[in-house]
Structure 1
């Protein structure tokens, strides 16, 4: 177990299972997963050992609420009583993040970025979002601002910041003018020439870009993609869809493995975020994969309006709400030979699988993406009955 002073003083209780031994955490999650699929036929289901996480330092991203005063900013969280807690020493972050946050606090003062005061609805700087690439330790920094009023001051101090933090590769200002608990706005202003942070899982280049979803536990994410790749590499697949594809992690891994045996395998990836589609397309180009296209569309609407050749494999990695009954019924009628379902919410996944009445679960594995909490990821392979 790790020691966290914020949990001990109850100023931060995000890691609700911190006092539970790690083996017990995994057992509880596995029991919960089994409960969600208890009503399904498991006669042909193969369970794989849960993929474990490091217990500390596993996150690649910090989302810090900025509060306090401009000369003494606080980076962390604000509780329901409007009390600020500095979390720059959170043990879940990479070991060097505290030193980086110290430099950023100094930068906030130099640039005159007044922290946003929720009660008074005044100030400019709302959040600082910091992301690290595991492969090269390069960094992406995003300032979430109420307006563009202080943009010139940020640009004025930028050269000094880059001197102190030379690993900063991507820097942006995001404008979020609403007085609401919304992390980011639609407008993203790039302050550096480079717009993506490169990561690499299992030899596949993936690109992190502002406003594009990317897993926050890279070691477990790499294991998740590798498992998917291993499960499908020998399947008779010529055409696959990757719905809710994000930056293309699942689709690219599976397409790369399948094209090793059959260069004509075609991949279509669908994701509503244009930023994520940009990153996925860049990854496909870097991989040299052919017959790959990514589109910025609503995944469910795309699937429900397809009349062309059906895929042999459909990958779904939906948000917490799951794929929903209309898409499940569509897949039942479409009848691809294989389904690969990845979920961050086993409850909605269990409901979706009950709707997929034409499919039989074959393999399943739990991935502990979020240690010390009740949350986890799960991957399951289904075949047409």
Structure 2
């Protein structure tokens, strides 16, 4: 894939863009295989589309209010416009210039990092497979909120595909994407993202994989493994908005998810109710789970991995099957070493992030000895 930004040296985020995609995928597969123990059965890696696959645009807003840039900052803290990035869909390419125009119309003065002046720091956009959008404006203070509210109705009338708009307040001068306070500016507060017939509800702060198509393949793999062992009970730790838990639901199977974000839990419960699924969710810290007595446990931790406390809990649990989805194979390998009672049987690489070193790997483990 060719990229004018890359060729011009304006953005080098896609570090492997000049490597043929087949070679990229093979390298990721080899990297994962080398990190895990011998004896694992490896399924063919799941490829991504080379472009247009990102469902999220995390754009730094910079420059003058009448001609803002949406993209990244250069080494001097100045804006580099990336609205035409080939990783985004055609619909995203249409929306981003309209959002830049709204910056000017509503006089949302971009935040200038070198001088620490201005109000608007980022615009964060999430796209659903149905072509709907969630837009978040990350502001330094509430100063610009009245102007945003004033001009938002006209913008939404022109862009009905934008169904959720919020303002996030992040007052600190530091490299933090968002703050703790979120102001919902539309009637709807969640974006519905359908994956294989499961309409997940994403709130403004909800985590969801960047690549919707590959996320679907990830859930299908976990569901296929679950159907093979046919557990009567499933526990999904770090469940987020319920992606794994809701896809693993089946008649006669009790499924429960645990997630620290109360907003994500509320979204997961909404989807379960809409689909009439007998899946329950609790808000809590997955590392604090004292028992994991379901027959099958799914874990999808952040990059840091499970940690010693949760690994010890899984060692003591009554579970017989463990499905581990990881975005960092080094953390995965460390956790597997801390799970001596579990044998990794089957694994698969899923390329969520083409043109980079990052990828997802999912592993099925079997209990080696009874507890």
TM-score of the superposition, structure 1-length normalised? 0.93
CA distance in 2, matches of 1:235, 1:376: 26
- Per the alignment, residue 235 of structure 2 pairs with 241
- 8 Å contact from structure 2 (residues 63, 78) kept in 1: no
One of 353, 357, 371 as aligned partner of 1:370: 353
Cα deviation for residue 19 of structure 1 reads 0.3
Structure 1 window deviating more from structure 2 (366-375 vs 227-236): it is: 227-236
Structure 1 window deviating more from structure 2 (94-103 vs 169-178): it is: 94-103
One of 301, 313, 320 as aligned partner of 1:318: 301
One of 214, 220, 226 as aligned partner of 1:220: 214
- 8 Å contact from structure 2 (residues 54, 89) kept in 1: yes
Cα deviation for residue 221 of structure 1 reads 0.4
1:314-346, Cα deviation, whole Å (9 max, x unpaired)? 100000000012211221111411000000001
- Per the alignment, residue 298 of structure 1 pairs with 285
CA distance in 2, matches of 1:236, 1:202: 20
CA distance in 1, matches of 2:215, 2:69: 30
One of 86, 89, 92 as aligned partner of 2:87: 92
Cα deviation for residue 207 of structure 1 reads 1.1
State how many pairs are aligned: 368
- Per the alignment, residue 383 of structure 1 pairs with 366
CA distance in 1, matches of 2:127, 2:93: 13
- Per the alignment, residue 267 of structure 1 pairs with 255
Cα deviation for residue 164 of structure 1 reads 1.8
- Per the alignment, residue 341 of structure 1 pairs with 324
The alignment partner of 2:83 has SS state of coil
- 8 Å contact from structure 1 (residues 247, 277) kept in 2: yes
1:90-125, Cα deviation, whole Å (9 max, x unpaired)? 000011222212111111111110000111111110
The alignment partner of 1:51 has SS state of coil
1:347-366, aligned counterparts within 5 Å? 347-366=330-349
- Per the alignment, residue 133 of structure 1 pairs with 128
Gaps spanning 5+ residues in structure 2: where? none
CA RMSD of aligned residues (A): 1.2
- Per the alignment, residue 112 of structure 1 pairs with 107
Cα deviation for residue 83 of structure 1 reads 3.1
- Per the alignment, residue 272 of structure 2 pairs with 284
Gaps spanning 5+ residues in structure 1: where? none
